Each structure stands twice: as structure tokens, then as C-alpha cells.
Amino acid sequence: MKVVKNISLFLLLLCVWGVKAQTWKEPDAPIEERVEDLLSKMTLEEKISYCGSRIPAIERLDIPSYEWYGEALHGLKAWNCTQFPQNIAMGATWNPDLMFDVATAISNEARALKNTGQKEVMMFAPTVNMARDPRWGRNEECYSEDPHLMSEIARMYVRGMQGNDSKHLKTVTTVKHYVANNVDFRREFSHSLVRQEDLYEYYFPAYKTCIIDEEATGIMTGLNGVNGTPCSAHDWLVNGVLRNEWGFKGYVIADWAAVQGLEKRMRYAKTQEEAAAMAIKAGVDQECFRHKTKSAPFVQALKSAIEQGLLTEEELNVSVRRLLRLRFMTGDFDDQSLNPYSKIPKSVLECETHKQLALKAAEQSIVLLKNDNILPLKDNDDKVAVIGPFADYCWLGIYSGNPKSKISNLEGIQKRAKGEVSFAEGCSVTGADDDQQKIDEAVALAKNVETVILIVGNDESTATETLDRLSLNLPGNQHKLIKAVQAVNKNIVLVLVPSGSTSVGWEQENIPGIVCAWPNGQEQGTALAKMLFGDINPGGKLSTSWVKSEKDLPHFHDYNVKTWKDDYGPVVSRTYMYAEPEPLYPFGFGLSYTQFDIKDLKLDKKGLKSMEDLVVSVSVANVGSMDGDEIVQVYVRDVETNRVVPIKALKGFERVHVPAGKSKTVSIKLPYEAFSHYNLTANEFQVEEGEFEIMIGQSSDKMVASKIIKVAGGSIPKISVGQKSGYFDANDENRTKKWDYLYEDGVLDSNNTKKNDEDKFDWVEYEIVFIDPGVYVSTWDAELNFSDASKEAIVVASMEGVDIGSYTLLNNQRKVQIKIPIPPEYGKPVRLRIKTVNGEVKHESIKIMPPGDKEPFVISKIVSSSK
């Protein structure tokens, strides 16, 4: 009997132990306990595998493989997902609430892909590198050169992406690239030399806002180094500032193979094992790296690092805990019915609601730079010529996905114009042998029309990841084209599609209308047409200063922002806050089709005490004849100081819509910290007692009202995660919105996909596997080959339902050059469909030409066809 009781007790204990052993599967258990339980069940090798982007399955625990890698810069880098305006365009909206809406739509699409098993929700965004120099190849990824505007736009991106559910993250945001990373050429070999004051006052604020106020879940360290130490081994930057000072609890990922680079490129570590140990000890948890067969270099080195005594398993556990914690927070290990975001349907992908939101964002981002009574265009203009390399081109910007719908500027204008619209390319983007012939064709066209819309700019062929701009001039023969057209027709609207500040001084003097339209998302053509013809009133304003020339900029590698001079060179100063040269267009500048009168500046206090808020109020009157948006900009200047201080610094703003003939009162709160500076000796932000000037501007160069206020001195208390800055608004309604607030009832019930007409035409499909070429590109060159074709046969190429282009085969033509959009994920087969819409063709092969030094390869096998 006693034996039976003992057996029963043993079985009971075994059951209890078994239940306890499955804590990680219990959705109601505290997340820390779930993490510890799962961690205790993992082998060393399984823990190490979490330190790379591609995480293999743990089959014995029934955990599938996982890819910790996603891009969501301004829309998912994926098929059939909505592409919103590029970040530099979103900054020009000066509308954080609109950024929240856009981020909500992006994260909804991310969840929809996860719910259908197509993608994970670990996103490498937002980019909050400061736009300190327009020559940077990735400048278009930045919201602003100003730390306050950057912070307010970025905070709403994080808030919209991560969602408002108390238990689940909608997506994981990874704020990048930490820090002072604004030169792309040989970035993995270079160091940014930055004074600590500039770090705290200029380069850190947006990261701090995202981490402390919005509790962003991830940080990506830059490929560069700062002050002699690589960012991915920088103990002070990661452990010191991020984790200890700001209380960051999320994960830190090193940019592409950056841990490997500690030895191979930075020469900072002697071995890969030493590099891996350095990264873990500095607070870095993961290395961004995807390869078809190889694991991340970081992963390959960690076990040896532990065996060599350079690192302990418990030190590794610290990183793995952080990574596991985020997977639990996204609901990966739980029944999906418990996750509110599991209800997001596939029908959100590129749905009409999202396309209309993309259109709204594009409309609000457009900046009118000059208007000598040429805009808006009249409906009775009989003949309009649309000319330029960016006319029949929907340039989305770098790090873009592949939506089904893309409206080029030409298409948008053709749909909107009442009269005849003709088109000429004019020239290529960067210059080609037949450019003069194209310029001649454009000139001939311009002679015979009333108005010319000339659309120029720069794309990834001149500025992208790994490629900086040496000059701010329009590339290739575009300036030559503009002058040639202007010589025969003065009635020109110049439309710029730039990656940032562009040298158009001659154009400013000689062209009556200039518009900055940006890489403006998939609805860019519709938005531009509506603005040109006056259906909407432009209200965007520049979020960066536009210099007259790169000659007005300091040395590209000089990261100092404040004005200073040494014995070796000229005065250094950056951004509107410090720069002395007169800009071509100032920060915050943008014209309208109406006029605004800002007056009645009021301060709610005569003097500001320590840690009090100041409320600044003005009246904004629309004294013109068209409804419009004005952006009220509040700047602060320290009047009494011996320090080097900004000429003025943006500390508050609001975009307000005012109907014609009406006025609105705008009130903007400035917290006490808006008057502070970083005291290097005290290692804290302080307010220096004295007088400060509050200025109201319609741009940084146009102040319309100002008042002086006496501010008491004091220190700004240090805050970390769990506390909030003075700019945080706990009552912001965006904090309580559910994921579906964007949509009208029932709008997501339908599939939102139109019946295609593929069955009307003959088609064939080739299967292609794209392998990572080691450099960032958005397209690969390819060549379609035919053994036979009828005269003027027309074929249409598409990939995964996204049209690439239509091509006409002229007499005896057997080869067609095309550009294929690269799939969001390398190493996975995709289908390229060639549809014959006119005549007949016999397919032979497709030749794929990878970028860089990779060899071309030919695919002859047709894997599927309509026959």
C-alpha cells in the first residue's frame, strides 16, 4: 500500500513538474517567467542561433524556423503592399497625426502578411539619422534636419507600428542607424568624430523620444564607428546611454555583418571570436545577415568565443532573453485567437483605404517653391507638354516594395487635364548617348504647346545606400534640357523629384513655377496633377534647408553641427540653426495658393518657472480666396548667453487647415526642456536663467511675430523608460485607437482584388531565384529573348501580379531589355510572367544580369503557361 502511495505521489509530482515545465506555453504566465522557462530548455547552439536574422527551427520544442528581417521604411518591402511617400516627403507634411495613420496602415499590412504565413513582423524602421548633409546617399530616408521635427514624426511612426494593445505588439520597430551615420561610401570603415554636446543635443533626441516616450522595441547600430569605437562594440553608446541612462529594454541589432566588420573592416578586434564577445559585452544582441546557406558571422563565432573563455553562456543568455521576450510580445508562441491583430485580413493589402491615405500623404507633402502667377494651371489650356526623365516614371524611392498600382506623373496629368497632353522623355537621368536627340525632340514639342511641365530629379542611380552624391546639381543632362526648353517656351512649371536639397539657382531665377514633389509613393501622379490644376492647395514645407551649392556645406565627414572654427579650415556650421550662408530655400519654407496672416501672439505666462510649461497662442487667418493649410512654427532663441547657441531652434509646430476668409486660434505647448542645453560638465540638460525670444515663423527665415520671456534657471530631471518627456501627450487620442479605425464598416469584408484578364492572352512563366549580390539595388537588368515574333508584337512582363512594363517588338527584334524589381527576400523562387497582348511570339529564354561582379545566367525552362 505504501508503495502504491509513493508511486501515486511520484506521478502527481511528475504531472506538476510537467505542467511547470511548460510555463513558456502559458499565455497568462508573466512574460519574464515564460522567457526563463524557454531559455532553460534551449541548448547552447539554439541560443546562439537567435543572434542572426535567420533562426532555424527547434523541432523538439515544435518551434518553426523564423526570419528576423523586415523592411518598412515607407511601406512594406513586399509584393502588393501600399507604398507611401518616402520619409523626406513625410517630413515635409509636418503632420505627425498623418504619420500615425500611415504607420497604422503599414503595420496592418505587416500583420496581414504574418497572419497568412508570408512574413514576420520584425521591422527595420524608422530611420532617424539626422539629415545633416544632403549629399548623403540615404538622405531621402530622413524626416528632417531638425531634431524636434524628426522626433515628433518618428514618435508617431513607432506608435502606429507597435499598436496600442496592452499585451501584444503589432510589429517590432527597430530604430536606426545608431548613431551619427551619414556617409555611405565606405561607411563600414569610417568613424564619425562627434562632440558629446552635439550627440546629446542633435543626434540623440529622436532616438531618445522613440525609446523613452514611445518605448520602441529595437535599435540598429550603424556600420560606422563613433570617436574611435565601432558602434556595434561601443559600450558607452549601447550599455551606457541606451540601456543604463535611458532604460532601454529592447533588442539591439548590428547592421549588415557589422560584428564581422569589427575584425574584417574596422580592425578593432583580432579575431571573429573576439569581435563576437565585444558585441555581446557592449549590449548588442543580434547581427543583421541573411544568406541562403550560411548563418551570420556573429552566430558562427559565438560558440568558439565561449569555448575560448572570451564570453560566458550567461552573458549570451542576457541577449537571448531580450530576443525571446519580443517573440512572446508579438504572440508568436500563443494561440492566435488571443491576439487582436490576428484578425487583420489579407484584404487590407493595397486596399482602397490605404491608397487614398497614400494619396492624402502625397498631397500634403508637395512643396510649392516658386509661383510667378503660373499656378494653378487653367482647365482651358489646350496643349500641355509633359517632359523629363521623371515624367513617365513612378519613382518610389529606395527601400520600396512592389505595389500593383503605381500612378506616374504623366499618367496623373493625362487623367486630370482637359486639353491635349503630349510627352517627351527629354533625356535620361544620368546621361546617355542619345540624350541630345531626346533634348531636340523635347524642344520641338515645347515650341507648340501653351505650357510645359518639366519633371526632373535624381534616383538610386545617383544616391542610394553605398552611393553618396558628390554634387547637388541635377545629374546628367537635365539642366541642359531645362535651359533648352526654356529658350523656346517660358511658360514652364518645373517639378523636382529629389532626394534632398538640389542646386537649382538658375531655375529659381528663370523658371516661373517650381514644385518639389519628392519620391511621393504610388499615388504620386494623381497628387501632383491635383496640385498643378488647383484641386488641392499645396501646404507642405521643407523639412531641411536647401543650400545653393555643395560649396556652402562643411566637409562631408565633419559631424560637428554647432558653429566653430579652428586653425586648419573655415568656419563650420550646419543646418538652419547655425549655418551662415543664405540658403536657396530655407528650412520650413513652402508657398500656398492662398495667403495667411498670423497675428495676436500671446504667452500664457509673463515669466517661466522651473519645470513649467509655456503655452504659445496665435491667430491664423486665411486672407486669400482658397482653403488651405498653414504650418505654424515656433522657434526659440536664447538672448542672454555666452555659449554658442542656435540662431533659432524649432520647439513647436502645428499644421492647421483654415477655410478662405476664416481664422483659427492655434495653441502650442512648449515644455520647460524646450529652453535647455546640454551641460557637458554636469552631464545633464540645464536651462540657463535669462531672457528667451519666442518667435513665430512661416519659415525659419520669415518670422512674423515675437515676444521675450524671462525663464528661470534649472536642471532637467533625467528620465528613462517608464517616465515621459515634457513633449509626451498622455491624452493623445492616437494612443487609444484600435487597428481598424481607418476603415469604414464592411470595407474589409470583400477581397478588394479585381478579376484579372490573364485568360484572354497567352502567357508563359519563368521561375527565378535571386541571390543576394552583396550590394543594395531595387532592380536587376534582364533580357527577354525570342526565337520568333510577329511585327510589332506587344508583351507585358509582370512578377507576382505586379506589372513591370509593356514592350513592343519592332520588325525583326528578338531581344528586349527590361528591369526586374527585386523580391523582398532573396533565395526564394518567384515567377516572372510574360503575357502576349498583341501579335505572336515564340519564347526562347530570359537572361538575368546581376549587379556587381556576379556572372549573368540564362533561364530557358518555362515552368508554366496558359496553354
Residues classed as catalytic: 255
CA separation for the pair 685, 147 (Å, rounded): 15
Instruction: Please give the grid coordinates belonging to residue 164.
Output: 496600442
Q: What CA–CA distance (Å, rounded) separates 146 from 124?
A: 22
Which cell numbers in the block locate residue 640? 542672454
In terms of Cα–Cα distance, which of 500, 537, 530 is closest to 516?
A: 500
**Cis, bond preceding 547 (omega within 30 deg of 0):** no
Whole-angstrom distance, CA of residue 538 vs CA of residue 530: 10
The CA distance from 283 to 260, in Å, is 16
Name the strand (E) or helix (H) holding 175: strand 172-178
> How far apart (Å, rounded) are the C-alpha atoms in residues 573 and 417?
45
The cell for 702 is 520669415
- Give the residue among 7, 82, 827, 76 at the shortest CA–CA distance from 522: 82
Helical segments of 255-393, H only: 258-264, 272-282, 297-307, 313-329, 352-365
Nearest to 698 by CA among 623, 635, 649: 635
H or E element: which one contains 708? strand 702-711
- The residues near 310 (Cβ < 8 Å, ≥ 6 apart) are 273, 274, 276, 277
* DSSP states of 441-485: HHHHHHTT-SEEEEEEE--TTTSBTTB--S--SPPTTHHHHHHHH
In 510-591 the beta strands, taken as DSSP E runs, fall at: 513-516
Q: Which residues neighbour 85 within 8 Å (Cβ) at sequence distance 6 or greater?
A: 74, 93, 358, 361, 362, 365, 518, 519, 520, 521, 524
Question: What cell does 548 get?
Answer: 545653393
**CA gyration radius for the chain?**
28
Residue 822 and residue 834 in contact, taking contact as beta carbons nearer than 8 Å: no
Strand 383-387 to 451-457 pairing:
parallel
Contacts of 772 (CB under 8 A, 6+ apart): 290, 291, 292, 826, 827
The DSSP string of 212-233 is: IIT---EEEE-SSEETTEEGGG
From CA 22, how far away is CA 40, in angstroms rounded? 11
* Through-space distance between the first and last CA atoms of the chain, rounded to whole angstroms: 78
Contact (Cβ atoms closer than 8 angstroms) between residue 425 and residue 432: no
d(Cα 389, Cα 477) in Å, to the nearest integer?
Answer: 10
Half-sphere exposure of 734 (CA within 13 A, CB side): 21
The phi, psi pair for 46, rounded to 5°, reads -70, -35
SS3 at position 398: coil
259 in Cβ contact with 279 (< 8 Å): yes
d(CA 541, CA 701): 13
